Structure 1
Amino acid sequence: MHRAKLASFAFPDRPAGDAMSVIAPQAAVPRPVSRVLVVSGDAALTEQIVRGLNATAQRLDNPHGLVALAVAQVDQALARVGSDGELQVVLIDDGAADLAGSGPAADLAVQLAALRPELSLYRLLPADAGGSSGRRAFDGVAGEAIAGWFDRGEVDPVGWFRILAAEVAEKAATPFYDRLKAYVALAKDSWHTPGHAGGDAYLGSPWVADFHDFVGEELLRADLSVSVPMLDSLLHPGGVIAQAQQLAARAFGARRTYFVTNGSSTSNKVICQTLLAPGDTLLLDRNCHKSVHHAVILSGARPVYLDSSVQPHLGLFGPVPQVRLLQAIEAHPQARALILTSCTYDGLRYDLAPIVAAAHARGIKVVVDEAWYAHARFHPELRPTALECGADYVTQSTHKVLSAFSQAAMIHVNDPDFDAHLFRENFNMHASTSPQYALIASLDVARRQAVMEGWRLLDRSLRFAAELREQIDATGAFRVLTLDELLADEVRGDGIRLDPTKLTIDIGASGWNADELARVLLERHNIQIEKATHRTLTLLVTMGTTRSKVSRLMDAMQRLAREARSRAPASRPVPRRLPELPHFNRLACLPRDAFYEAGERLPLLDDSGQPNAALIDRVCCDQIVPYPPGIPVLVPGQVIDVAALTYLVRLLRTQQATDLHGLADVDGERQLRVLRREEAAPGLAPAV
């Protein structure tokens, strides 16, 4: 069947002077460029290497576009590495006495590795340092950063080019994606799951044929099952999936990496179930994602909930104060794990190193939910990552800020006591036996992009974010909040940093209601935001942000700012401040024990419409979470007090845009499940 292809309307961000086709049958894909930087003060040697490598690149197959250039000084090398997103390899001359006069080559290697760990670093050894003693001179951090070495007295352009080309090819490899494409190209008849059989079930149907065209033939042909052995098994990888995971571990700085096809939500549960046995103590940020709270129920752990900091004026929740964390670590040395979220939805991230060090000193494993921070490894302005700070386990939603498909995530492991068999058993308990191969392929591709061009794309994102901050502030009606404005007073001295690619916009002075503004942006200006609170909007600047999108957003914000100024002051609603979230009080039993009891449901309001006093001192069975902000007010096993009940009722009455997850809706009446009086619950010491 012939299918007409729609013309592609491509408006890529290109440097001035580049040719650009506005309408073309297929957008031209630029060829990759991989620059090799030679750092040497020896002019004759530099010319020999650069000329030889470039001549070889013209003569031999060069699919990744290797091209060599040189600098003579360390500061020039650092400047080039910090500005050239197509740089992939650096050759450091260890034998030139006049290498910038700024320290030995080992120092330069350390600086380059700290600046861009994805670069491949090679040494040019002097003739008398070819043995093991010469190589030992780069032991330690510098030695770990070095991928290989060449003898500067035996320049072999062809041999060196082949080695460097192989190095770049290895970094750029996508073993699973390549195998998936190869299998689809074989055009095998499908006599296995899934039932649509490569999309053939949709063809010719008057009811669903449009779905085939909407999704695309290649994606449907790639929707396969575990019946295809050459595509490996996500549950027991030993082939191309294992290879792809090894490349990801190298890219993200982990000992091991696991691909996950149902998000960080499942990742958090797998880690908790691996580390925790029933009754084990767990320290956790109360602001953790709900999947962590679900993991507490599943594991039977004894949680110690730590109140987050809060910026009450904005209704934004941030990190747990460092002093509170350190006190909890000291008070609970028996704890098996500490779980933190860094960065938060709004971009706030901990100074993790001292916290991790304190936990490790007590033998406590540190798990960091980095769902919103998977991109950090690939730009120095965003580092250090949780792994670089010593975290034992890190979950990342690769789909949120990198280019993987939705639900595609990774678990990174650096735990020296890691039990791979136990982890695998828990992983398989939660993973589907029919994983979506397109998600696995997207993880492979997202890793490749992050390694090969992540620095360049993130550098562009950071520039866009800075421009947007300046221009949005200039509207006079909207303002991008600074780190200082986002922080609660109690965490100002904790070394917390802000991810600049997350823009939290205060709309309080504009007169717009947040929900109304979000709707206007979508319906009138075709702009979908990430989230809204009672007085803020959150926007994400990612690798997919383009100059055109920035321009359209700014046009919309300027138009809305002018409209806000023209509105009558009396018509401008005052943003309502969120009620203050009550502090966590205490648990009467393990969350698991309360959750699995039958319980009974009591109404949140009594017959007169007031907070139901019958709920006071009862034990909650479910997790009650208002969205926003998404922090549990009550968890299973928690004793309901006046503060929590009052907070929930006030939310219902004043925050129409807030959903209360966990309450039962019975004939329009909101009810809360609590333990029956006769349901016994094991005692538990009050939480911190």
Structure 2
Amino acid sequence: MNIIAILNHMGVFFKEEPIRQLHASLEKAGYQVVYPVNDKDLIKMIEMNPRICGAIFDWDKYPLTLCEQINALNEKLPVFAFANEQSALDVSLTELRLNVSFFEYALGMSDDIALKINQAIDKYKGELMPPFTKALFNYVEEGKYTFCTPGHMGGTAFQRSPAGSIFYDFYGPNAFKADVSVSMPELGSLLDHSGPHKEAEEYIAKTFNADHSYIVTNGTSTANKIVGMFSAPSGSTVLIDRNCHKSLTHLLMMSDTTPIYFRPTRNAYGILGGIPQSEFSRDVIATKVAATPNAVMPNYAVITNSTYDGLLYNTQYIKETLDTQFIHFDSAWVPYTNFNPIYEGKCGMSGEAMPGKVFYETQSTHKLLAAFSQSSMIHIKGDIDKETFNEAYMMHTSTSPQYSIVASTETAAAMMRGNTGKKLMQDSIDRAIRFRKEVKRLEKETEGWFFDVWQPEDIETTECWNLDPKDTWHGFKDIDADHMYLDPIKVTLLTPGMDGDNLAETGIPASLVAKFLDERGVVVEKTGPYNLLFLFSIGIDKAKSLALLRALTEFKRGFDLNLTVKNFIPTLYAEDPKFYEDMHIQDLAQGIHDMMKAFKLPELMFKAFDVLPELKITPNAAWQQELRGHTEEVKLEEMVNRVNANMILPYPPGVPLVLPGEMITETSRPVLDFLEMLCEIGTEFPGFETDIHGLYHQADGSYTVKVLKQD
């Protein structure tokens, strides 16, 4: 960050010569100096290049308006104005409040002016960097000799080995110098929440509108367990979203609690819907408690917000209606909701605290903000016993946290502060909406078929779009008004194959498109039967968006030409050259589509997720049985009326289908039918195997599951 932009009123000698001298002084101080051609060029340069650390312009030509434009982009950016024709008395109070320093054109003053500019830029950089990251950087710059962990000693050990040297050179020196021990008192402690670590969490809490925030260095899977371990003591009952992440199932396995499930909806595409409002009422919960052995009225509830496919709740309704002390929003996929007004009232930290209630929001900072993998945060609104909460925190947190992850979590928060953060988020939303509109335009203008977008017909307004019960586009039945909203940056594309709630005569399974895109360097976030999910995070730029559009049009062109699998998707051909020899892409697509028709996929999906397996014992009790060896493996088709030992969850979407301690009965047999369909597609078509946690593929091609032994 060492670029200074000078917008000068050229052609006037008494102004040009001082600027030339200043240019020389700034270059001597280590700055790169660039010259935009006009004020519009300067604004665009600042907008497109975050490494610009200062702007200099002629106040006589570009006064207040330019300052306001710069301020709207970055209110902290140092701005320097040269003025001769305007006196200090001509400068208004409003102008003085802006972040601008004034100098006069004068020969021989360049070194003094450059010194003041450098001081302002140093202050600017200091204000940008959050507390822990700043302390870590300072520690690295000090270059202390340590005789403690980690053993690579700032990277020195790696450089003593040929293999280590290659590893060291790939990452660079600072990656190793910043990997430090918990023995450094000047950096404080993540476990004790002291020193710069404490300042970092206070900084994050303020940024995310929380009363307290905690940095978690091993993902939201761990953040969820920390929150649950504190909020649901042994013997209690937990209200939990049936479409929860598997980390919450692991919480149930670790803790002796009884689960009662919120029952979400699902449409024919397999897109996860929301939990109906009725599920949050005390009467419905009381009925479920009465029907569940050993259950009591719950004090802790977990809701996935947003869903994997980008549906957000009216969280204010849930907060006001749900009669539990602790309400936990698993918001792993939406760490950005505090930074644009379209998300107001749709996230856990929206609004004010409520007496007698505690709201949690667990967020994967690394998923859709700029942070290292495993960066996560716990946000809390309301009063908690912080000492006891920290015991739960320490149960799941390493005593040797990775400080680079801590710094990246804090820096992600710093990036979202102020006008620069608001612009980052707005740009992300705008880019996603432009992409959506471009796909719709191509769909209308393209001959034959093209991809569609799962969204309302009219998206002219920038908002989270309401799922109106009167509309049909979303495919959900009997939904509540003003309850669920579609996040614009979660873009779901639809492939041909669905006709309302039924399968069409012909179709293009989305998994086929995903394999084609992957071969061209485009990775899909989630692939359903006939839908593909793309995340337009702040890291998606115009080039990536255009690359995706181009790849989609290339798929259509190749598919319409009915190219061979060998030429169209070589990596798929390599999975089984004998099987795919001379096979054409349209035949492959239709073959998979016909199998889905044979299994009556939409009907099967509705049934599979409508009737839950029967809870026989708690997940914790089932896990204890497994630890004692009271399990056996049976064929997949033999699991009916047997108590499952492990969770079974297909990817996608990666939410549990059968939980430990549950039994598939004749009533819930569609669950088994759905699993068998996924297995058969993978058996029939090499390369299309579904990753199913809890199913074990045997050498003879069959699948087994682990069940509890019968007495």
Q: What does residue 378 of structure 1 align with?
A: 339
Does 2:385 match 1:419? Answer: yes
How big is the shift at 1:440?
0.4
Range 381-390 or range 332-341, more displaced? 381-390
Alignment-derived partner of residue 394 in structure 1: 361
Task: Indicate which of 297, 305, 313 corresponds to 1:334.
Answer: 297
Aligned to 1:58: 102
Within 5 Å, give how 1:94-113 maps onto structure 2.
none
- Whether 1:435 aligns to 2:398 is no
Distance 1:283 1:240, change over 3 A: same
Moved more, 201-210 or 341-350: 201-210
Find 1:322's aligned residue among 246, 271, 277. 277
Alignment map for 1:572-587 (pairs within 5 Å): 572-573=589-590, 575=593, 576=596, 577=601, 579-580=604-605, 581-582=608-609, 583-587=611-615
- Deviation for aligned residue 1:308: 1.8
Superposed CA deviations along residues 177-225 of structure 1, whole A, max 9, x for unmatched, are 0111111111122322222221122225332322112112111111111
SS of 2:275 mapped into structure 1: coil
- Larger CA deviation: 341-350 vs 199-208: 199-208
Distance 1:530 1:15 in 2: 40
Tell whether the 8 Å contact from 2:559 to 2:586 is kept in structure 1 after alignment: no
Instruction: Please say which of residues 503-512 and 564-573 is displaced more in the overlay.
Output: 564-573
Residues 1:64 and 1:650: Cα distance change in structure 2 (over 3 Å): farther
Q: How does 1:605-624 map to 2 (within 5 A)?
A: 605=636, 611-612=637-638, 615-624=639-648
Of 616, 620, 635, which residue of structure 2 is paired with 1:592?
620
CA distance in 2, matches of 1:397, 1:647: 30
Match of 2:417 among 451, 473, 488: 451
Are the equivalent residues in 2 in contact too, given 1:623–1:632 (CA < 8 A)? yes
Greater share of residues in helix: 2
Q: Provide the alpha-carbon RMSD of the alignment.
A: 3.2
**Which position in structure 2 is the counterpart of 1:409?**
376
Q: Quote the residue 1:601 is aligned against.
A: 632
Quote the Cα distance in structure 2 between the aligned partners of 1:64 and 1:266: 43
Is the 8 Å Cα contact of residues 242 and 262 (structure 2) preserved in structure 1? yes
Task: Find the counterpart in structure 1 of residue 155 from structure 2.
Answer: 199
Gaps of 5+ in 2: 1-37, 55-69, 77-88, 104-112, 290-295, 444-449, 457-466, 468-472, 498-505, 563-584, 683-687
**Aligned partners of 1:494, 1:324: CA distance in 2, in Å?**
15
Write the distance in 2 (CA, Å) between the matches of 1:64 and 1:667.
69
Q: Give the deviation of 1:232 after TM superposition.
A: 1.3
Alignment of 1:16-95 (within 5 A): 17=41, 29-31=51-53, 34=71, 48-54=92-98, 57-58=101-102
Residue deviations 1:72-127 (CA, integer Å, cap 9, x gap):
xxxxxxxxxxxxxxxxxxxxxxxxxxxxxxxxxxxxxxxxxxxxxxxxxxxxxxxx
Question: Following the alignment from structure 2 to structure 1, what is the Cα–Cα distance between the partners of residues 71 and 635?
Answer: 63
Residue 194 (structure 2) aligns with: 238
Match of residue 653, structure 1, among 673, 677, 680: 680
Counterpart selection for 1:629 from 653, 664, 668: 653
Identify which range, 187-196 or 481-490, moves more after superposition: 481-490
Aligned 8 A contact 1:329 1:358 in 2: no
Map of 2:571 onto structure 1:
none
> Residue 25 of structure 2 aligns with which residue?
none
Aligned match of 1:662 in 694, 702, 709?
Answer: 694
1:537 counterpart = 2:532: yes
What's the CA shift for 1:337?
A: 0.9
Residue 677 of structure 1 and its aligned partner are, at CA, apart by: 2.5
Amino acid at match of 1:395: T
2:328 is the counterpart of 1:367: yes
When residues 209 and 339 of structure 1 are mapped into structure 2, their CA distance, relative to the original with a 3 A threshold, is: same
User: What is the rounded CA distance, in whole Å, between the counterparts of 1:511 and 1:587 in structure 2?
Assistant: 37
d(CA) in 2 for partners of 1:301 and 1:558? 51
| 2:475 matches 1:480 | no
Per-residue CA deviation, residues 279-338 of structure 1 (Å, 9 max, x unaligned), is: 2011111001010111111121110022221112x1121211222232544545821111
2:696 is the alignment partner of 1:672: no
Count of equivalent residues: 543
Summarize deviations over 1:342-383 as a string: whole Å, max 9, x none. 101110111121121112xx3442100011111010011222
- Asked if 2 retains the 8 angstrom alpha-carbon contact of 1:244 and 1:444, the reply is yes
Tell me how far apart the structure 2 counterparts of residues 212 and 20 of structure 1 sit (CA, whole Å).
37
List per-residue Cα deviations over 1:550-580 (Å, max 9, x = no partner): 2222222222233333338656426433642
Give, in whole Å, the separation in 2 of the partners of 1:536 and 1:369. 24
Aligned with 2:53: secondary structure? Answer: coil
Q: In structure 1, what is the Cα distance between the partners aligned to 2:363 and 2:98?
A: 39
**Which letter does structure 2 place at the counterpart of 1:628?**
P
Is the Cα–Cα contact under 8 Å of residues 374 and 401 in structure 1 kept in the other structure? Answer: yes
Counterpart amino acid of residue 516 in structure 1:
L
Q: For the Cα contact (< 8 Å) 1:171–1:448, is it kept in 2? A: no
SS at match of 2:207: helix
Distance 2:128 2:90 in 1: 27
Is 1:546 aligned to 2:519, yes or no? no
Matched letter for residue 97 of structure 2: L
CA contact (8 A) 2:301 2:324 kept: no
The 5 A counterparts of 1:199-218 are 199-203=155-159, 205-218=161-174
Q: State the partner residue of 1:518.
A: 514
Distance (whole Å) between structure 2 residues aligned to residue 502 and residue 495 of structure 1: 18
CA distance in 2, matches of 1:215, 1:462: 32
CA distance 1:501–1:426, shift in 2 (3 Å) = same
TM superposition shift of 1:54: 5.0
AA matched with 1:351: N
2:126, 2:42 → 1: CA distance?
Answer: 30
- Contact 1:475–1:558 (CA under 8 A) maintained in structure 2: no
CA change 1:220–1:511 in 2 (3 A) is farther
Where does residue 76 of structure 1 map in the other structure? Answer: none
Q: 1:274 aligns with which of 205, 209, 230?
A: 230
SS in 2 for 1:515: helix
Q: For 1:408 and 1:350, locate their aligned partners in 2 and report how far apart those are by CA, in whole Å.
A: 24
Q: Distance in 1 between matches of 2:314 and 2:90?
A: 42
Query: Which amino acid letter does the alignment assign opposite residue 29 of structure 1?
Result: R
Match of 1:42 in 2: none
Rounded to whole Å, the distance in 1 between the matches of 2:50 and 2:618 is 59
CA shift for structure 1 position 653: 1.7
Which residue, 201, 212, 220 being the options, matches 1:264? Answer: 220
Helix, strand or coil at the partner of 2:101: helix
Local SS of the residue matching 2:663:
coil
CA distance in 2, matches of 1:520, 1:233: 47
TM-score, normalised with respect to structure 1: 0.73
- The residue type paired with residue 680 of structure 2 is R
Shift in alpha-carbon separation, 1:20–1:633, aligned structure 2, 3 A? closer
Residue 319 of structure 2: aligned partner: 356
Corresponding residue to 2:487 among 499, 514, 539:
499
